[in-house]
Structure 1
Amino acid sequence: MSEELTPTEIETLRRMDINALVVDDQEYIRHIVRQFLRTVTNGVVLEAGDGAEAMAFLEPYHGQIELNWRNEEYSQFVEGGKKIDCIVTDFKMAPMNGLEMLQKIRSGNSAADPDLPVIMLTGFNDQNVIGAALELDVTAFIVKPVSQSALHTRLYRALSKKIAIRPSTHYDAIATDGVSPVSTDGAAGKDAAAGTAAGGSELSSTTVTLAEVPLGAILVKDIVTLQGSVLIKAGTAVTEDIKDRLGDLAGHKDVPLEVMVAAGN
C-alpha cells in the first residue's frame, strides 16, 4: 500500500467515526499520534499511559474505573456507550507493556474482541519486540518517528479487513518481555527448510525485497534481524497479513532489506 491515502480513502476514514486509543508512557508521543488521528476521525481519541490503563477503556464499565485523566472526550466516550475501534501503542511501558496488552486481547483475556486492530510503534532496538508482536498477530507496525501518512495508511488497512485469530494457547505461549527471542521449536529451521518443500521436492528460490514478497510464497530461510532475532520462521507461507506487516518493517534498520522465498503451491 502507498504511504499516502487518496482523498477518497481519507473521506472513508472520516465517515467511520473511529474511536481510537493511544497508549504510550510519553505524553508528547501520545499528543503527536492523537493530533494525526484527529485529522481523519470525527470519533473520540483517548489516551492511556500504559497497557493496564488501556485495558480499563476496553471494559464494559470503564466509566466506573478510576483513570489518571478526564476530559470532555472521555465523558463523551462513557456517556455515549462507545467502544474502542483501534489501538495505537508503544511497547516500553509499565506496569503493563504493549506486548502484554496485545497478548491479553488476542487470547481473549480482555473485554475486547480478540481481533481488535492493534498498531504497534517500534524503534530501532526492538527486534525481539517485533518477533513477539508478529507471533501475537499485531495488525500493523509503524517505525518511529511516526509520520502522519504512515499512521493514516496503517489505520485504513487495519479497519478495512479483519486478521485471522489463532487459538488462545498459541498467544499464551509467547514471551512478552521484549527480551526473550521468539522460539523456533517445531520449525524446520533456517538451513533445513532452505532447499525442500513439504513433499521433499527441491524449491526454486529467489531473493526479493520486503515490499515485493509475493502472496503465497514460502519463506526459504528464517527472517532474522541483524542482531540474530528470528522474526518469521522458514517454511511459513506468506499470507496477506504477513505481506502487509513485512512491508511495514521495510524502513527498520535492524530488519533485512531482502528475503529468500520460493513459489508456493
Structure 2
Amino acid sequence: MGQSSYLANVKFLIADDNAFMRTIIRRILATLGAQDIREAGDGAEALKIIQTWPADIILLDWEMTPFDGIEFTTMMRHTHDAINTFVPIIMISAHSEYWRISKARDAGVTEFLVKPISAHTLFSRIRNVIERPRPFVNAPGFFGPDRRRHEAKHTQERREHEPEQISPDRVMEQDEINAFFNHADTAQLPHYPPPKTE
C-alpha cells in the first residue's frame, strides 16, 4: 500500500494558534496523501468543528488560548455529548520536559510529538495510532488510552534503579517519548519507506 492511498480517507483536524505551524502540518499531511484536512486557530474553534465534523485524528498544540491542549484533551475525553471521546489525539509541542509528557499522557493524549516535526516523525506517530490502537480505560480520575502496561514497567524500572528518580524538568528525546507512550515492538510494523518531501 502506498502512502498516498494510506491516508487518503483519514480526516485530520489541526488545532494550533500559530497559522504558520498549521500550514507546515497541512503541507506535510498533503505530502503524505491526506485529502480531508481542517484547521482551527484555538481549542474553542476546534471543539466547534468536532461537534459537526468527525475527525479521525486530531493534531493539537499544547499552548493555545482560551484553553490549552491539555484542557482541550480533557474536554474531549470527558464530554458526554456527540463528540467522539475515543478520537486519537497527537499533541505537538516545542517543549519536552518529563512533567509535560507525563501530564499529556495522563490527560488522555495518544501520542506526543516534539517540534520541529518532519514528515517522517509525523507519519510514524500517525501510523502508530492507526495500526496499534490502545484500548481505552475508564477509571476514577482517568479516561483515555491504556497506560497501565507502562506503569507496571516504569515501577519495575524504578525498583531496579533506586534511588534514582526522573527529574520533572528533564528534557526527553523523541525516542524516549515514543517508548513512554507505546510499549509494543514497532519494528514488527510493515515497512514503508520514509516520506519524500520536496
Count of aligned pairs between the two proteins: 169
Does the alignment pair 1:10 with 2:7? Answer: no
**Offset, 1:137:** 2.9
Q: Secondary structure at the match of 1:121?
A: strand
Q: Judge conservation of contact 1:22–1:47 (CA < 8 Å) in 2.
A: yes
Tell me the TM-score normalized by structure 2. Answer: 0.70
Out of 168, 183, 187, the residue aligned to residue 243 of structure 1 is 183
**Offset, 1:38:** 1.0
Amino acid corresponding to residue 11 of structure 2 in structure 1: N
Structure 2 unaligned spans of 5+: 144-150, 172-178, 185-198
Deviation sequence 1:79-99 (CA, Å, 0-9, x none): xxx521100011000002111
Amino acid corresponding to residue 103 of structure 1 in structure 2: T
**Offset, 1:153:** 1.1
**Offset, 1:156:** 1.4
The match for 2:46 is: 54
Q: 2 CA distance for matches of 1:223 and 1:147?
A: 31
The match for 1:101 is: 72
The match for 1:160 is: 131
Does the alignment pair 1:144 with 2:115? Answer: yes
Structure 1 unaligned spans of 5+: 1-7, 61-81, 173-186, 196-204, 208-219, 230-238, 245-265
Q: Secondary structure at the match of 1:224?
A: coil
The match for 1:255 is: none
**Offset, 1:159:** 1.8
The match for 2:196 is: none
Out of 171, 185, 190, the residue aligned to residue 142 of structure 2 is 171
Q: Secondary structure at the match of 2:136?
A: coil
The match for 1:22 is: 14
Higher-helix-fraction structure: 2
Amino acid corresponding to residue 105 of structure 2 in structure 1: L
Amino acid corresponding to residue 182 of structure 2 in structure 1: I
Indicate how the Cα distance of structure 1 residues 150 and 31 shifts in structure 2: closer, same or farther if over 3 A, else same: same
Q: Judge conservation of contact 1:137–1:165 (CA < 8 Å) in 2.
A: no
**Offset, 1:169:** 3.9
Deviation sequence 1:204-259 (CA, Å, 0-9, x none): x4x7xxxxxxxxxxxx7887246269xxxxxxxxx995336xxxxxxxxxxxxxxx
Q: 2 CA distance for matches of 1:25 and 1:56?
A: 15
**Offset, 1:157:** 1.3
After superposing the two structures, state which structure 1 stretch, 37-46 or 114-123, moved more: 37-46
Deviation sequence 1:50-71 (CA, Å, 0-9, x none): 11110111113xxxxxxxxxxx
Q: Give 1 or 2 for the bigger CA radius of gyration.
A: 1
Amino acid corresponding to residue 31 of structure 2 in structure 1: T
Indicate how the Cα distance of structure 1 residues 105 and 59 shifts in structure 2: closer, same or farther if over 3 A, else same: same
Q: 2 CA distance for matches of 1:171 and 1:154?
A: 22
Query: Kindly, what percent of the aligned residue pairs are identical?
Result: 23
Superposed CA RMSD: 3.4
Task: Using CA pairs under 8 Å that are at least 6 residues apart, name the structure with larger relative contact order, 1 or 2.
Answer: 2
Q: Judge conservation of contact 1:89–1:120 (CA < 8 Å) in 2.
A: yes
The match for 2:84 is: 113
